[in-house]
Structures are given as C-alpha cells and as structure tokens.
Amino acid sequence: MDKKYISLNTLPLGERAVVKSLTSNGITRRRMLDLGLVSGTVVEALQKSPSGDPTAYHIRGAVIALRSEEASKILVEIN
C-alpha cells in the first residue's frame, strides 16, 4: 500500500502528522532541522494567525510559527 504525503501547510488545524522529509535546501533546510523537523517527528497544527499566515505548530514540546512558504517544503503523513 502506497503512503500519501501532504505538505505541512495543508495539515488541518487540530490534526497531527509525522514528518517524512524536507524538500527545502540551504539555510532554510538547516533552520528546519535545527527546529527538530527531522523524519519521524510528530507535528500538530495549532492555529493560524488572524491574517492566515503564519500557522503555529506544536513540535517537540515547543510552539513554532512557520510561514506557509516554509511549511510547504515539509512533507508529512497524517496519523
């Protein structure tokens, strides 16, 4: 059975997913890795800002806001 991955920016609020891969590179990739966004990390979409971007995510015990552009480069699998 094939697993379907979605980008983190499309994860519905209140849902949890597991990080599968990062498609970004360079400084942005390094920043994502430093934030703990490595394969196997559980991420939960908490809330969007009033303007709709960025979105707050619960990652490894911390709440981190990511812009849609950044989150689109993180592939996740919904639990």
pLDDT digits (tens, 9 = 90+) for 25-73: 999 999 999 999 999 999 999 999 999 899 999 999 999 999 999 999 9
Beta pairing partners, 7:
75
Return the domain boundaries, the chain. Answer: 6-78
CA-based angle 60:58:12, to the nearest 5? Answer: 135
Distance of CA 17 to the CA centre of its chain: 8
Read off the pTM: 0.89
Q: 7 pLDDT band (50/70/90 cuts)?
A: very high
From 35, 44, 20, select the one nearest 55 (Cα to Cα): 44
Which CATH number is associated with domain 6-78?
Answer: 2.30.30.90
pLDDT in tens, 22-32: 999 999 999 99
